[in-house]
Amino acid sequence: MSDETPQTDGGSQAVQPPSGTTGEIAGDAIGENDDGHGEPSPDASEFVGEELVAGYPSSEEPVIDGATIRLPPGEVTALVGPNGSGKSTLLAGLADQLAIDAGTVLLDGEDIHALGTKELARKLGLLSQENVAPNSLSVEDLVSHGRYPHRGFFDSLSPADREAIDEAIDLAGIDHLRDREIGSLSGGQRQLVWIAMVLAQDTDVLLLDEPTTFLDMHHQLEVMEIVERLRDESDVTVGLVLHDIEQAARYADHVVALKDGAVQARGDPETVLTQELLAAVFGVEATVESTDRGLQITPLRPHHDCE
């Protein structure tokens, strides 16, 4: 983690006082490669959603109203925000799993809506929050479904598929579970298997929707270790929704804070995750201390006056 001062680019808004609920609080440091773990590889993909408006047919108001988000190539971007802030909706819209009403989503400058569904699934993976699989399915079989977009209707698994599956299982650290049935696994183990499945998809961009929620501490760390490995050892551009702010601070290169469907702040963790932001976005009074293990955030009490 770096402790450099954020660099403000021309387009971002000035720092708002903590009472403000709109506008971006921190400067925009995204894209400035200032986080000290090496240059992103030129092969990594950039993933951008511009001026996105998205919602559900059941409600008039869009859940996401004009959000712009950029996932810098090869790095990890965390989306944080309170319940109902539209994090999952934004992720679904970005992954074309939810039809957006306006805006564009660009993968390496190319509109993803111009891609076929399988073509897109070869470049962009999304792991939803809750996943279901038949209990009798074996771990290896579930992971192998990640190869679906790479296979034709009649194709059996090619050597390349096998290799991708092995790599994914290896990266997720679930080799010992390989022949187990899904039904016999704990929730945490299951989540690792699901992550292995999207890893086997072998995409340039990987979106994870709350991958650590509901997991015990051990498996939360396992999941975040995978994310860390993706950040350090691969070109994959990762975007993930996190509920745990400290996790975001510790593992993400960039943090985007969302509230009421709009981006409130973006930048590296130190600039975004401030006491002011926690008050404005999450409605909590908290202390933020910089330690040698990253930011330490201690929530103290809720603010009752905010909305």
Partner 1 sequence: MAGEPTTRNRIASRLGWFDRVDSSLLALCLASVVVVLVAGFVQIRYGDFPMTLGEAWSAIADPNVLLSLRAWKGFLLGGELPELSNQSLIVWNMRIPRVIVAVFVGMNLAVSGAIFQAVTRNELASPFILGVSSGAGLAILLSLVAIPATTIVVPLLVAELHVSTSMLLPVFAAVGGVLAFVIVYAIAWKNGTSPVRLVLAGVIVSTVFGSLQRAMFFFADDLGVVQSAIAWITGSLTGTDWEQVRMVLPWSVIALALAVLAARQLNVLLLGERTASSLGMRVERVRFALSGVAVLAAAVSIAVAGIVGFVGLIVPHMVRNIVGSDYRKLMVGCLFVGPALMVAADVGARLALPVQIPVGIVTGLVGGPYFLYLMRRQESMGEI
How is residue 199 written in tokens? Answer: 């890893």
**What is the Cα–Cα distance from 302 to 46, expressed in whole angstroms?**
37
Q: Applying CB under 8 A, which of residues 113, 162, 176, 218 lies at the interface with partner 1? A: 162
The reply to whether 213 sits near partner 1 by the rule CB under 8 A is: no
Give me the least distance between CB of 149 and partner 1, in Å please. 4
Give the orientation angle of helix 159-172 with respect to helix 187-200, to 10 degrees: 140
39 or 130: CB nearest partner 1: 130
Alpha helices in 155-215 (DSSP H): 159-172, 187-200
**What is the Cα–Cα distance from 200 to 211, expressed in whole angstroms?**
16
With CB under 8 A, what is the number of residues at the site for partner 1?
41
Residue 279: how many other CB atoms lie within 10 Å = 16
Q: Applying CB under 8 A, which of residues 118, 176, 218, 293 lies at the interface with partner 1? A: 118
The reply to whether 285 sits near partner 1 by the rule CB under 8 A is: no
CB-based contact 172:166 (threshold 8 Å): no
The reply to whether 135 sits near partner 1 by the rule CB under 8 A is: yes
113 or 162: CB nearest partner 1: 162
Stretch of 126-134, 216-224, 276-284, 298-306 lying at the interface with partner 1 (CB under 8 A): 126-134
Give me the least distance between CB of 154 and partner 1, in Å please. 7
The reply to whether 133 sits near partner 1 by the rule CB under 8 A is: yes
Give me the least distance between CB of 160 and partner 1, in Å please. 14
Strands (E), the chain: 47-54, 64-71, 76-80, 100-107, 110-111, 124-127, 205-208, 237-241, 254-259, 262-267, 284-291, 294-302
Give the orientation angle of helix 217-233 with respect to helix 159-172, to 10 degrees: 130
Give me the least distance between CB of 148 and partner 1, in Å please. 4
The reply to whether 61 sits near partner 1 by the rule CB under 8 A is: no
- For the chain, the residue count is 307
Q: Applying CB under 8 A, which of residues 9, 43, 51, 119 lies at the interface with partner 1? A: 119
Hey, which residues between 178 and 197 contact partner 1 (CB under 8 A)?
A: 178-181, 183-184
Angle at Cα 225 formed by Cα 224 and Cα 228, nearest 5°? 90
**247 DSSP 8-state letter:** H
Give me the least distance between CB of 180 and partner 1, in Å please. 8
The reply to whether 136 sits near partner 1 by the rule CB under 8 A is: yes
Provide the binding-site residues for partner 1, judged by CB under 8 A.
57, 95, 97, 116-122, 125-128, 131-138, 140-142, 145-146, 148-149, 153-154, 156-157, 162, 178-181, 183-184, 201
